[in-house]
Amino acid sequence: MILTVTLNPALDKNYVVDNFALTGIHRVQSMSTIPAGKGLNVSRVLKQLEVPTVATGILGGHTGKLIQAKLNEEQVDNDFVWIRAESRCSILIVDQNKKAHTEVIEPGPSIPRGALARLSKKLEELAPTASWVVFSGSPPPDTSHQVYFNLIKLAQQAGAKVVLDTRGPWLKAGIEAQPDVIKPNWDEFQELVGPCYSTVQALEKAKKIVARGVNTVVVSMGSKGALAVHGEERYVIQSLPPIEVVSAVGCGDTLVAGLLATWHAGGGFAEALRDGSALATSNAAHFGAGIFDPQQVTALKKMITVEKIPIGGP
């Protein structure tokens, strides 16, 4: 089973409006309300790929109950730690004509110390049954930078492999625990390692992180593809097939889920990166995080090339 941990889940309200502007009344044409926050998106994709998954983390209040009810509707197994404060909401406004894409994200409730202790206990219970534990997303702003470091250590002690997909100080501190995989996007990666002016330079910097004990660094680059260092090996996806982009929310989470699903099934790294990218690209063509079309994914897999860069190459 693949366990996902989300410290700050959100209820995503996705609105489609015409002629979106900064002022004025906007009547919503169509909408969807789905549980989100990075790990939940990963579990949603895994569930659709028929990979056993459990979502854990912290939920609170009425919004938390709604998030859980919707996860149950989607038949995503979940086992959360509960707090009194309300889980957050995020609003996404899409205007297809103007190609406008606006997100408003609440910070989320502070995590009480007792809740973190309960989450650690839950992780000790659940992680021994997991092959992978995925820690995803930004915790509430006032959360200790060490939070993922400590949780990763618990998962590792239970024998699970770890993915860390977060940003800023939590990523920086979390890397010290040597997770097996990190998956920053291009901005998050540069925040970590400093500015990169080429793929070659980015690969060099990713290699230095691998030398610090992270086995696999995947840097996703939105519509430009991805690059990766996996142990001694280096890979790039130079281009992606053109698609009609609807919403890129949750693309990174979809990539992580696809990567793990193929690995879980015994596939190699290049194949896993291709599959994750195909799923993520299909997610970009759909409304909502972790939503994709399996037929489109099959077609995209055939069109995506993962290049292995020879050792000593550029």
Ligand X SMILES: Nc1ncnc2c1ncn2[C@@H]1O[C@H](COP(=O)(O)OP(=O)(O)OP(=O)(O)O)[C@@H](O)[C@H]1O
Residue that the structure tokens 């939105």 belong to = 222
Q: How many residues bind ligand X (CB under 6 A)?
A: 21
158 binds, among ligand X, Mg ion, none (CB under 5 to 8 A by kind): none
Amino acid identity of 213?
G
Residue 265 φ/ψ region, left for φ over 0, alpha for ψ in the -120 to 50 degree band, beta for the rest = alpha
Q: How many residues bind Mg ion (CB under 5 A)?
A: 1
* Residue 251 binds to ligand X (criterion: CB under 6 A): yes
CB of 8 to ligand X, least distance (A): 13
CB of 117 to ligand X, least distance (A): 28
* Residue 245 binds to ligand X (criterion: CB under 6 A): yes
Candidates 111-119, 139-147, 250-258, 264-272; binding stretch for ligand X (CB under 6 A):
250-258
Indicate the residue whose CB is closest to Mg ion: 252
Q: Where are the beta strands (DSSP E) in the chain?
A: 2-6, 10-16, 30-36, 53-60, 77-78, 81-83, 88-95, 100-105, 132-136, 161-165, 181-182, 216-220, 226-230, 233-237, 307-309
Residue 194 φ/ψ region, left for φ over 0, alpha for ψ in the -120 to 50 degree band, beta for the rest = left
200 binds, among Mg ion, ligand X, none (CB under 5 to 8 A by kind): none
Rounded CA-CA distance 1/313 in Å is 38
CB of 234 to ligand X, least distance (A): 16
Q: Which residues pair with 218 in a beta bridge?
A: 228
Rounded CA-CA distance 151/12 in Å is 26
CB of 29 to Mg ion, least distance (A): 27
* Residue 243 binds to ligand X (criterion: CB under 6 A): yes
* Residue 252 binds to Mg ion (criterion: CB under 5 A): yes
Q: Footprint of ligand X on residues 170-229 (CB under 6 A)?
A: 185, 220-223, 225-226
Contact (CB, 8 A) for 110 and 88: no
* Residue 291 binds to ligand X (criterion: CB under 6 A): no
Beta carbon nearer to Mg ion, 174 or 252: 252
251 binds, among Mg ion, ligand X, none (CB under 5 to 8 A by kind): ligand X
Contact (CB, 8 A) for 217 and 229: yes
Rounded CA-CA distance 91/13 in Å is 5
Contacts with Mg ion, residue ranges (CB under 5 A): 252
Binding residues for ligand X, rule: CB under 6 A, are: 185, 220-223, 225-226, 240, 243, 245, 248-253, 255, 277, 280-281, 284
